[in-house]
Structure 1
Amino acid sequence: MFLVRIMNDMKMKKKLAVTFISAAVLPLLLSGLFLTGKLREIVINDAFTQLSNNVERVRKRTEELIKVPLNISYRLTIDNRMKKVAAQKYESYTEVIQAYREYTDIRDYIQLYKEISSIRVYVVNPGALNNWEFIQPDNAIMAEGWYKEAIEQKGLAGWNLIKDERNGSEQLSLVRSFPVDSLGEKGVLAINVDKQQLRSILDQEPFTTLIVDDRNRVVGSNEGEFFGKNLSEIDGDAKILSRQEGSYDTVVNGKASKVVMVNLNPENSWNGLRIISIFSVSEITREANQVIRLGAVVITVSLMFAVLLIYASASLLSGRLLRLSKHMSKAGAGSWETYIHIDSKDEIGLLSKQFNALIRSVHDLVQEVQETNHQKNLVEQRQSEMKFKMLASQIHPHFLFNSLESIRMEAHIRRQDEIAEAVWLLSTLLRSSLEAGNGNIPLREELERVRCYLEMQKFRYEDRLEYHLTVDADLEVMPVPPLIIQPLVENSVLHGLDNREEGAVITVEVKKMPKGARVKVCDNGAGFTAERLAEIQAELAESVHEQESKRIGMRNVNDRLVLLYGESSALSIESGSGTGTAITFFIPGGALND
């Protein structure tokens, strides 16, 4: 009431100004602040998502790149010809040169694989020569940390930023030791990862991306100024040196930044690499801030124009109302001859015309009002709304089961045991289907559902259908998703009895394997042609379907298996025209202990 009184006491101009600020300026300002915050949040989240995806892509591509020198190192460390060339005793330099010339595997690897730039074999052999492939390590080389680590790690691969003796540049290299002879002598193999290949992976990234070894040295970067530096030399959060794989906020070069870090651990290696990607929040939001500033300018100009327009409108409105108020004051003083002329068609112009008409007939109106006050009858019509509630009756599952049980008992009384058995099977199958939730069930319950279904089909097809259920005893309690075998059996029954007068044989086999359990559903039906089998397999392999699959049961089973256990558990179909069909899937060992 206090606010209403204040608003009523305000002048028209102030009232319009307050109304405009309350109804337009404040909501617009609050909306702008909210949308600005949301825009920044969306931009940062999108950039962070892109950053995470980019880091994972760099990790995968880098892993593929370093697999090449890793595989080559495997081959060379077991290459007896290479060991013989590196370690045999030579009588003359001519013999050395001849042996180097005949052994071309290293040069072939360099020409064949663009992922590597050089291969060096370090073996102590006083009678040999250095040809940049076979190198006699001097004391300086053998004192290097990477050389000592390679000897100590006994054949494991290591990844370090080491100096190439040919051109003096540092490159990311694989180093590993290998036995030269049976006396325990060891040599060291060094394979340089090609800089251009590594740089081509990083240059595609829009954000600062670094590849760092276990000594925190930058072995790869899409910004050349960071290459070869230690992370401690970069003006950033000291925690970046000790942070493990993950994402976090930090400050780099005095700017708030987002950092995503993933580990790359090559197989059979004593150390690994880290992929680090950084983006500055201010750089990411720069374009958004420009849009926000432009929007603020547009909104400010619009508000100024609106204020001027509101002020002009308020002045025009208040001026006419003031004229009308003065004439009303005259009429209130008893001057019934006063008239006002306002040339407009809005509410104020209409009010002035009505005011003039009021003045002309005020006496008659007073009398008429007095008469009509006694005769006036206010008629109110009330409409009663009727709400109709539609009651939907639904058969409760217990009612359905009780009805089936009554039918079964009546069949027993009439000595129709086969019908009673079929009704019992149907009741059991319906109950298990209705009670199936989202959790796993023991294998024996799933097989009992399969048996009930097959007995129902056997009641229908009689001797035309024969089935066999085989399961290892210790697998009966294995947890499996509900309805994971029955749809496959149903598919086998449909196709097994399709156009086969002699009937069908359905076999369900659950067998324990070294790393899990194998489930196999077979039939001796018509099978699939090679073309049809290829279509079904392609259909199951698709991740997104533009139209609904015709094999809903198989597709549903396959999707659940892949989602629960991975691609290795997808359905495997073997079939041939006239030879039946076998569908197999695998439940991994971890699922046996769930």
Structure 2
Amino acid sequence: MRTLRWLDMALQRINDIRIQKKLVISFIFVVFIPVILVGVFLTVSFRQTMIKDATQQTVNSVDIIRKRLADTLRMPMEISNKLLIDPRLKKLVNTQYENAFEVMMAYRDYNDFLDYTRLYKEIYNIRFYTRNPTIIDNWYFIQPDEGIRNTFWYKEALDKKQATASWVYAEDETQGNRSFLSLVRRSDFVEYRTSGVLVVDVNPQELNGIVSQELFDTMIYDSQGYIIAAKNTEWVGKNLNETEYSHSFKDRQQGIYDDIINGKPSKVIIEELMPEGSSNKLKIVSIFSVESIVSNANRISMLGFTIISVSLCIAFVLIYFSSRFLADRLMRLNKDLNRVALGDLHVTTSIRGNDEIGLLARQFSNMLHSIRHLMEEVQESNRQKNELQLRQKEIKLQMLASQINPHFLFNALESVRMKAHMHGEQEIAAAVKSLGRLLRKNLEIGGSDIPLQDELDIARYYLDIQKFRFEDRLTFELEIDPSCKHLLIPPLIVQPLVENAVIHGLETMEAGGNVRIRAGLKDDHLYIEVTDNGIGMSAERLQAINESLQDASDRREHRIGLRNVHQRLSLTYGESYGLNISSEPDRGTRIFFVIPTGGSMYVQSIDRG
């Protein structure tokens, strides 16, 4: 029910909008907004697809870089494995030489380091650190000085329990202290109870060649955060702490992340590589800004939105002028209608055309012709009607003049009652007695308040008469709080409710009809309720009755009594007081009201306060 009411209100509001505005609003909701929403949806989907494709492409590129890097680092690892078991190297670094000539002869016979750097492009340099005091430094075999011994990679290599390899970004004093990604590995000579540290430098050109062709910013860094290769060569050799990226991915694990880099939303892809036989990892990072990916999509979207906007503007202009032309024709027809409303029935419309408005104009002209013809007939009918009304008024005056004297009526009823009583017709006598009392009470009522007991007596007399009429079809009950019988109330506010219950609730019932009157005190207020178990009423009819209680122009007979009671209560006690009606089909009707025990003076004192 509430939904239907809401729909009715919505339709009424729509009907109140001018037709030109309706067409424009319809265009906005049916065409403009859907097109914009579809455009936004497609643009967002296009952007997301491009970002997804770029991310997947970058992930694939990083995976390729990881594989190429693993292949590049595999050769230094294999060479280190060979050197660790090379008996010639073991003998060279552990022999105690008598003089420099013996050392130079040993160096001349051992050219493996030089051969490896020449044969394999991945190898840039090889050197071996040994503590043999008889060795002479020759850029390949070096006695570590204090500076070397204090480096983290040298200490780490000697402190390891196993001779596993580590990949570090370290300076090579044999290359002018230039830094390289180097494989550092301890070589243990058990039979000599000595050890040394093997360092294999990776060719930086090979590393940079892996990332130089990437579309996005890509770099490789070691576990210490040193960048060993990058698309932007200016980053090589720097630590992440020295760059703007330190907060973005220094401590992050492998995965894909969203971040703000240089003030722009960006994607960060991190891939880890644990080279075979190594104890530490290398990380590969690729970064691309979302803007760089969607810039082309934005350009296409802007072009599409421009075309859509121009098309919508043209369509809007056409709709506007078409609706204006339509509205102008309707306004001309409205002016003709206004002239007719002012009494000019000789209007000739100038609207032409075969569309709906033209058809309406022709029907309007035909209607005017019919109205003029009917006016003539109505005038003749009114003349005859006026004559009839004059005659009816004369009859009413004669009836008023012959009205029966009330005392004569009471005496006549008393005579009828006594006659019935003498003939043993007790029910008839009781009914006539109740009728006489009812008439006397009604005639005695003036404009002042009466005790509740008197009002209930009137209701009881009425019910006695109706019970005589309906016999066993009607019963009634009165549940009255004795403490409220003396309270003053306006006259004739209960009897109309009882009459309504009998006539409209119980009259059509064949048996079992019941009317109950209840009166009591609740929080300094008098509560009066009239209920019946009659046919009840539907929700629609109940709503109509509730609305008619506020409508003084509603003259329907079956609602006059209820409306009079409701309006008298509201006028006497205030707008918050009046009848409350509830009903259900086949379950009866309940009518009640609550009024202050102080009467109308109580309400007036509240209003003044």
Q: Kindly indicate whether residue 225 of structure 2 is the aligned counterpart of residue 225 of structure 1.
A: no
Structure-2 residue corresponding to 1:65: 72
Contact 2:329 2:351 in 1 (8 A): no
Change in 2 beyond 3 A, CA 1:350/1:58? farther
After TM superposition, the structure 1 = structure 2 runs for residues 271-310 of structure 1, keeping only pairs within 5 Å, are 271-310=280-319
Structure-1 residue corresponding to 2:398: none
Contact 1:236 1:251 in 2 (8 A): no
SS, match of residue 206 in structure 1: coil
Q: Kindly indicate whether residue 188 of structure 2 is the aligned counterpart of residue 179 of structure 1.
A: yes
Q: Kindly indicate whether residue 181 of structure 2 is the aligned counterpart of residue 163 of structure 1.
A: no
Q: Which residue identity is paired with 1:164?
A: D
After TM superposition, the score normalised by the length of structure 1 is: 0.54
Structure-2 residue corresponding to 1:111: 118
Structure-2 residue corresponding to 1:247: 256
Deviation at 1:180, TM superposition (A): 4.5
Q: Kindly indicate whether residue 64 of structure 2 is the aligned counterpart of residue 80 of structure 1.
A: no
Change in 2 beyond 3 A, CA 1:167/1:350? farther
Structure-2 residue corresponding to 1:102: 109
After TM superposition, the structure 1 = structure 2 runs for residues 503-582 of structure 1, keeping only pairs within 5 Å, are none
Deviation at 1:167, TM superposition (A): 3.2
Deviation at 1:157, TM superposition (A): 0.4
After TM superposition, the structure 1 = structure 2 runs for residues 323-472 of structure 1, keeping only pairs within 5 Å, are 323=332, 338=348, 340=350, 342=352
Deviation at 1:184, TM superposition (A): 1.7
After TM superposition, the structure 1 = structure 2 runs for residues 195-214 of structure 1, keeping only pairs within 5 Å, are 195-214=204-223
After superposition, give the CA deviation of every residue in 1:430-449 in whole Å (9 maximum; x if it has no partner): xxxxxxxxxxxxxxxxxxxx
Percent identical residues:
40
Measure, in 2, the Cα distance between the counterparts of 1:237 and 1:32. Answer: 39
After superposition, give the CA deviation of every residue in 1:192-218 in whole Å (9 maximum; x if it has no partner): 111111112112322222222121222
Contact 1:86 1:125 in 2 (8 A): yes
Unpaired stretches in structure 2, ≥5 consecutive residues: 1-7, 375-609
Measure, in 2, the Cα distance between the counterparts of 1:46 and 1:356. Answer: 67
Q: Which residue identity is paired with 1:221?
A: A
Deviation at 1:101, TM superposition (A): 3.2
Contact 1:12 1:314 in 2 (8 A): yes
Contact 2:225 2:239 in 1 (8 A): yes
Deviation at 1:150, TM superposition (A): 1.4
Aligned length: 363
Q: Which residue identity is paired with 1:102?
A: D
Contact 1:52 1:260 in 2 (8 A): yes
Contact 2:222 2:283 in 1 (8 A): yes
SS, match of residue 277 in structure 2: coil
Measure, in 2, the Cα distance between the counterparts of 1:170 and 1:142. Answer: 17
Contact 1:327 1:340 in 2 (8 A): no
Structure-2 residue corresponding to 1:551: none
CA root-mean-square deviation: 3.4
Q: Which residue identity is paired with 2:57?
A: Q
After superposition, give the CA deviation of every residue in 1:45-82 in whole Å (9 maximum; x if it has no partner): 22332232222222222111111111111011111112
Change in 2 beyond 3 A, CA 1:2/1:356? closer
Deviation at 1:358, TM superposition (A): 6.3
After superposition, give the CA deviation of every residue in 1:242-269 in whole Å (9 maximum; x if it has no partner): 3222333333334333323232112322
Measure, in 1, the Cα distance between the counterparts of 2:247 and 2:82. Answer: 41
- Among 135, 142, 147, the alignment partner of 1:140 is 147
Deviation at 1:27, TM superposition (A): 1.9
Contact 1:122 1:134 in 2 (8 A): yes
After superposition, give the CA deviation of every residue in 1:483-519 in whole Å (9 maximum; x if it has no partner): xxxxxxxxxxxxxxxxxxxxxxxxxxxxxxxxxxxxx
Structure-1 residue corresponding to 2:197: 188
Measure, in 2, the Cα distance between the counterparts of 1:244 and 1:357. Answer: 86
Deviation at 1:297, TM superposition (A): 3.5
Q: Which residue identity is paired with 2:168?
A: N
SS, match of residue 171 in structure 1: strand
Q: Kindly indicate whether residue 24 of structure 2 is the aligned counterpart of residue 17 of structure 1.
A: yes
Measure, in 1, the Cα distance between the counterparts of 2:333 and 2:323. Answer: 15
Unpaired stretches in structure 1, ≥5 consecutive residues: 367-594
Deviation at 1:341, TM superposition (A): 6.5
SS, match of residue 285 in structure 1: helix
After superposition, give the CA deviation of every residue in 1:252-288 in whole Å (9 maximum; x if it has no partner): 3343333232321123222221222233333333333
Contact 2:339 2:347 in 1 (8 A): no
